[in-house]
Every structure is written in C-alpha cells, then in structure tokens.
Amino acid sequence: ILSAAGVNTAVIPTALLSTHTGEFTGYTHLDLSDQLSPITAHLATLGLHFDAFYSGYLASGAQVEQILSMLDQLCDSETHIFVDPAFADHGRRYSLIDESMPAQMRRLCARANTIVPNLTEAAFLLDLDYASLSGGGKEGLELARALSEGGRRSVVLTGVSSGEEMVGAACYDRASGWI
C-alpha cells in the first residue's frame, strides 16, 4: 500500500507464514530473527535517512529487542515511528505468541510516535481484562487517551464499536490533543 502511494519502502520481514495462524491449521512458520541484525547492519552502511519506521507482526517477544536496536541504528529524531502491535485479537494472543509479548510490546510502543493497536492489544498493553471492555465509542476514546501515555504519542485504536453494526476506530492526536 505504501509503495502504491508513492512512498519508498524498505521491507524487513520478521517471519514468513504460509497462512494466517488464527483461522487455519497446519501452517508453516519461519522465524527470521537471525537475519534482522545483518539486514540492519547493511542498511546502516548506506547512509539513508528514513522518514518513517513501521513495525508490525513480530515472531516473538525476543524480536522486540532487535527492533529496538534497529531504531537506534536506523532512525534519528526526525523519523516518525509507527508500531502496530499485531500480537492478539478476539481476546487472546495469536497462537505463536508467548506470554512475554505484551510486556515486550509495551517497551516497543514506548518508543513510538504513533501506535495502532486493536481492542485486544489495547487490553494487553494497558493490563486490562478484555472481557470487561465493551468496545464502545466513549470507552474507546478513553482507551486511546490512556494508550497515548499522557499525550506523548498518537493512537489509532481499531475495533471500537459505535453501534451494533458499526465498527471503527478511536483516535488520539498528540500534536493537537484532539481525540
């Protein structure tokens, strides 16, 4: 999508999956953790400036440390850091994700300018009981504000319901304080 919009991208895959792990069985999974450091080292030699850095699905909580190292090596104060936590949905972690991921993902989100969690990931990040969340619009706005860490980062919280048949997003903009 970014390339189609005319944005130059440098894709660094963290894992290869044959299918989505939530709806299929018998899938294959190849963790690419051993490639992240060499890729980062190579990119660092190129002297490139990255306007933005986007992190999505990570194969394990241990990969968070590698992504944090990438940020240190490849980003500067002008690089906008986006994090899509991408580790849980429908009240539970993805099948390949271990218990360390929420705590590790909190560390990565702390470095972000913008985070894009879904309602389940928000519950994990805020250490809330997902079953107790209504997912309603007002609650979604409160969750977005809480995820902003006092306005330090922008938040797009997906999966917020504004009606029985309406699902959308709650947003908090750190620059304007608009929610």
- The dihedral formed by the CA atoms of 133, 138, 169 and 90, expressed in degrees to the nearest 10: 10
Task: Say how far apart CA 176 and CA 15 lie, in whole Å.
Answer: 36
pLDDT digits (tens, 9 = 90+) for 98-129: 999 999 999 999 999 999 999 999 999 999 99
Tokens of 165: 């048949």
pLDDT for residue 46: 95
pLDDT for residue 155: 96
Task: Say how far apart CA 105 and CA 39 lie, in whole Å.
Answer: 21
Task: Say how far apart CA 97 and CA 79 lie, in whole Å.
Answer: 28
Identify the burial level of 42 via C-beta atoms within 10 angstroms of its C-beta, where 0-12 means exposed, 13-18 middle and 19 or more buried.
exposed
Whether the pLDDT of residue 3 is over 80: the answer is: no
The whole-number average pLDDT for the span 75-102 is 93
Task: Say how far apart CA 90 and CA 118 lie, in whole Å.
Answer: 9
pLDDT for residue 137: 75
Residue 91 CA, distance from chain mean position: 16
**33 — pLDDT class (breaks 50, 70, 90):** very high
